[in-house]
Amino acid sequence: MQDSQTLLDKITALSPEQVVEVEHFVEFLTNRARKQEALGRLLTLAPSLEDAGAGCQSDDEIFAEVIAARTLRQSRRNGS
């Protein structure tokens, strides 16, 4: 693996447009890792949810929950 300074030197040599692409790729990798961690936590909880009697949700119920969570997160970001 290369050291950080070598990587920084390569990024510094890129055009501004390419630096933006690198930034987007790093964000993608970060988000992917975060999603994988969240999935791992969810899978760890799944047996406990089943034991507690939590039933399966339909696709429509899941979709509604996702929309509600996104709306709440957006309102928090906007200071509402």
How confident is the model over 22-70, as pLDDT tens digits? 999 999 999 999 999 999 988 888 888 778 877 778 889 999 999 999 9
Residue 79 has pLDDT above 90, yes or no: no
d(CA 75, CA 80): 5
pTM exceeds 0.95 for this model: no
Identify the domain containing residue 60 by its residue range. 4-77
**Domains of the chain: total:** 1
> For residue 72, what are the CA distances in angstroms to 2, 20, 47, 68, 69?
42, 30, 27, 6, 5
